[in-house]
Each structure stands twice: as structure tokens, then as C-alpha cells.
Amino acid sequence: MVGRSFGDGVRDAIQSTGMTQRRIAELLDWEEAKVSDLVKGKGGVTEVEVAMLLGLCTVKPDEARRLLALFRETREKGYLEFNDGVPQQLTTLIDQERLANKVFVWAMDLIPGLVQLEQYSAEVVRAVPKISAEQVAEIVAAKAGRKTVFHRSREFVFYIHEQALRLQVGSAELMVEQLNELLRMSIRPYVSVRVVPLSIGVHAGLAGSFTRLGYAKFEPVVYLESHNSNLFLEDKGSITVYDNVLEALAVQALDEEQSRELITSLLA
């Protein structure tokens, strides 16, 4: 994901010159494939060589520093993004959800954000210390906007622990509405809702909630969220670990019909 952002920046820098990738390669005395790999975010060059290319393209200092920082990030196992609790923290996640064609979510404590009602989201955000009323409204609006990603061309799988369904957020009436919303979403053919029941005890997802985003043209990423930062993991080792968790949850969770029955029983 960081590689894609870096590659997009390099492509924009080259396009701003009006020169082709071949001409850029000639001026730098590189093979054209080297420039092509950079645009694709694959790296294969040193930081000095990246600086040479940016200088040739007369990239402004602030943008050059940003691209060099992204280049360094491509050598790491994950992309750590700090936030201050306002909607900007959702920007990267929303962008990636729009690109993804497969979204797998494991939710251990709360109803997943993508299927939360606005009132439910508001209650969750208000529970965060030092969030103003104005910020609550902004964050809830940003979260609500994420729902535009739902489309039959994509696949959504939500594994939700039963305790997340039982945890009361707001009033009892709100919880009834939220559970009914979850049932409505679950009947969409491209949405699967599966509950991990309390009765099984310990389970594969004990380390915490996460989202796995799969793409048609890119490698998958795993998204983790904390109070003041978001972490996107994209190295193969980490992806394998989380894929193994999802495989185990698929075995431990109730099937879709059983899950709907459990959710319905909580409404009684």
C-alpha cells in the first residue's frame, strides 16, 4: 500500500515534466524498466537514486520529502499512521476500502464500523475521552460515508463475536435497531455475517479485531486500529498470520443461518 502511494507520487512527478519514462531513463542513464518499477512502487533503487529522479523532475521540497519518507516506509513491514481522533484518521482506510474487492472483518468487542447505524457510531465515539460534540458529528458522518463501498461486485465477510452483539451501546431500543440492521445486511448475497459464539470459550481471534483488505491487482493488507494510530500491515509473513486467524474463525463461527438465528434470539 505504501509502495502504491510512492509509485503514484513518482508517476505524477514524471508526468509534470511532460517527458516519457523512456526519456527520464535516458537522462538518468537507467534502464527504462527501472523507472517502470518505481512507478509501480516496486523499489529496486537506492534513496540517492530516488533523490536524483525527483531532482530531475524539479519536485518541490515538501513533496520530495514526502516521497522520500514513503520510499523509506516501503522497506518496513507496515505503515503506521498517527491521527488525532478526527475524521482524517479514516481517510486512508476509506480509500483502501474503495479499492478493495474483498473485505474480511473480525470484530471482537463492537459491531463492525461498516455496518454500524449512525446513532450506534455516535455512542461509540462519545465514549472516547476528549472528543468534542463537533468532532463526534464529523467522525460519525465520515463513518457513515464508508457504506458506499457496499456493492454486489465485492465480497464482505464479517466475523463477529457474540459479546459484541450483547454489549449494550446506547439504549436498549438502539441495540434492537442495530441488531435488526445487521440482519438486514446479512441477507444481501455479497455480505456474510457469521457469529463466533460465547459457548466455544477461547478462540482464534483473541489478539484483537482487524480488517483484511484484498484487491484484484494489488497484494492484500491488514488494518489495525488503536486510540491514536492506525497500522497497515502488508508483508507476506503478517498477512499469512492473519489469514490463518480467519481460517480458524471460519471453522469456529456459526454458519450464516445459525448466526441469523442467534441474532434474532437476542431481539426476543
Please write the tens of the pLDDT for every residue from 28-58. Answer: 889 888 888 788 766 667 888 888 889 999 9
> Span 94-104, mean pLDDT?
90
Cα–Cα dist 106/160, whole Å: 6
Backbone phi, then psi, for 190, in 5-degree steps? -100, 5
> Span 243-256, mean pLDDT?
98
Is the pLDDT at 89 greater than 80? The verdict is no
Scanning the structure block, which residue is given the C-alpha cell 465514549? 127
Mean model confidence pLDDT for the chain: 88
Cell of 224: 489495525
Cβ–Cβ < 8 Å for 160, 195: yes
Instruction: Judge if 2-73 and 78-267 fold alike in CATH terms.
Output: no
Task: Considering only residues 11 and 198, tell me which one the structure prediction assigns the higher pLDDT.
Answer: 198
- pLDDT of 212 reads 97
Going from N- to C-terminal start, the domains of the chain cover 2-73, 78-267
The CATH code that applies to domain 2-73 is: 1.10.260.40
**pLDDT by residue (tens digit) across 179-232?**
999 999 999 999 999 999 999 999 999 999 999 999 988 889 999 987 666 788
Confidence of residue 87 (pLDDT cuts 50, 70, 90): low
∠ CA 208-146-220 to the nearest 5 degrees? 55
> Span 129-138, mean pLDDT?
84
The CATH code that applies to domain 78-267 is: 3.30.870
Is the pLDDT at 75 greater than 70? The verdict is no
- pLDDT of 104 reads 98
> Span 239-258, mean pLDDT?
97
Count of H helices and E strands in the chain?
12, 7
Q: Which of 132, 165, 184, 177 is nearest to 253 (CA)?
A: 165
Is the pLDDT at 112 greater than 90? The verdict is yes
Confidence of residue 74 (pLDDT cuts 50, 70, 90): low
Q: Helical H runs in 40-129?
A: 47-56, 61-73, 88-99, 118-126
Q: Which residues, including other chains, have CB under 8 Å from residue 221's CB and lie 6 or more apart?
A: 1, 96, 212, 213, 232, 233, 234, 239
Q: What end-to-end distance do the CA atoms of the chain give, in Å?
A: 44
